[in-house]
Amino acid sequence: MPYVSTPDGAEIFYQDYGQGKPVLLSHGWPLSSEAWAYELKVLADAGYRAIAHDRRGHGRSSRTSGGNDMDTYARDLASLVEQLDLTDLTVVGHSTGGGEVVRYAAQHGKGRVTKVVTVGAVPPVMVKSASNPEGTPIEVFDGIREGVLRDRSQFYQDLSETFFGANREGSTISQGLRDDFWRQGMLAELQAAYDCVAVFSETDFTEDLKALDVPILIAHGDDDQIVPIAAAAYKSIDLVKLGTLKVYPGAPHGISGSYQEELIKDVLAFIAD
């Protein structure tokens, strides 16, 4: 299986399909590159080189005693991009991965990244504060940490409900899709999953968004119960120079079904020359 080594010795697993302009996809918490299986195939079939990695501590990548912070995640991504020598690159990130690609593009991607796509992404910052009253209270994230620590298996099963909007009337989300969320989550090492809660909730990406000098598509479902759109996409679009906002009515946090099909069409249109 393909891996790259980071400067601190972590081994980062990645999937790599197709040929053409590269598109690199970064997954959400607590998932892995498997979350992008559909997109990897569609992008490769459309003539792109589609790549997705497992974040350290997740999936098949190294379980490390440290490095569960956004700066390290972005440096890991830089190691992957540099070792594969990717240029004219589009980076796509969902949820936590959206923060990861924004920080990578802003701080490491100059000369390599030409477009950015975020989907249900955590920037600018999730946690509620005096300066971010639309944010999510810290008590919610404390509850996530407690759930991960005490019984992450049941917690991931329960979380899949709101992640995919299965609690909404008329939902067609399958049990299989929810089971796959649980499966991927259980592959995340406990320490990494626990530490990453602070990473995705408390990291401030405001300056990264301001620093981006390439086009960015900011995609978000307006029924996202995990990363509410008011504190995320609606704020991010005002911080970037070359942004396009696309709101998907009724779409949840998890990417699936008709939302997934519409999103990939929009991504393909955005990244086309």
pLDDT at position 143: 98
Could you say which of 160, 224, 236, 256 is catalytic? 224
27-78: pLDDT as tens digits? 999 999 999 999 999 999 999 999 999 999 999 999 998 899 999 999 999 9
Domains belonging to the chain, first-starting first, are 3-271 (3.40.50.1820)
Could you say which of 95, 160, 201, 256 is catalytic? 95
Please choose, from the candidates 179, 174, 177, 141, the residue with its C-alpha nearest in 3D space to the C-alpha of residue 157: 179
pLDDT at position 1: 62
pLDDT at position 273: 73
**What is the residue type of 63?**
R
Could you say which of 58, 236, 253, 256 is catalytic? 253
Whether 211 has a pLDDT exceeding 80, the answer reads yes
Tokens of 88: 């004219």
Specify the DSSP class assigned to residue 174. Answer: -
pLDDT above 70 covers what percent of the chain? 100
Helix, strand or coil, per DSSP, at residue 119: strand
Residue 155 Cα distances to 11, 13, 63, 145, 172, angstroms = 28, 26, 21, 10, 21
Residue 243 Cα distances to 52, 65, 123, 163, 249, angstroms = 23, 37, 14, 26, 19
- The residue-averaged pLDDT of 100-124 equals 98
φ and ψ at 209, to 5 degrees?
-60, -45
pLDDT at position 88: 98
224: annotated active-site residue? yes
- The residue-averaged pLDDT of 103-109 equals 98
Specify the DSSP class assigned to residue 129. Answer: B
- The residue-averaged pLDDT of 257-261 equals 97
Pairing of the two strands 113-119 and 243-248? unpaired
pLDDT at position 65: 83
Task: State the pLDDT confidence band at 190, using cuts at 50, 70 and 90.
Answer: very high
Mean of pLDDT over the chain = 97
Please choose, from the candidates 67, 51, 97, 91, the residue with its C-alpha nearest in 3D space to the C-alpha of residue 6: 67
220: annotated active-site residue? no
253: annotated active-site residue? yes
- The residue-averaged pLDDT of 249-273 equals 97
The CB-side HSE value for 173 (13 A sphere, CA atoms) comes to 25
10 contacts 37 by C-beta, under 8 angstroms: no
1-16: pLDDT as tens digits? 699 999 999 999 999 9
**What is the residue type of 199?**
V
- The residue-averaged pLDDT of 217-223 equals 98
Residue 250 Cα distances to 10, 223, 224, 263, angstroms = 39, 5, 8, 13
C-alpha 211/C-alpha 226 separation (Å) is 26
pLDDT at position 186: 98
Tokens of 206: 């405001």
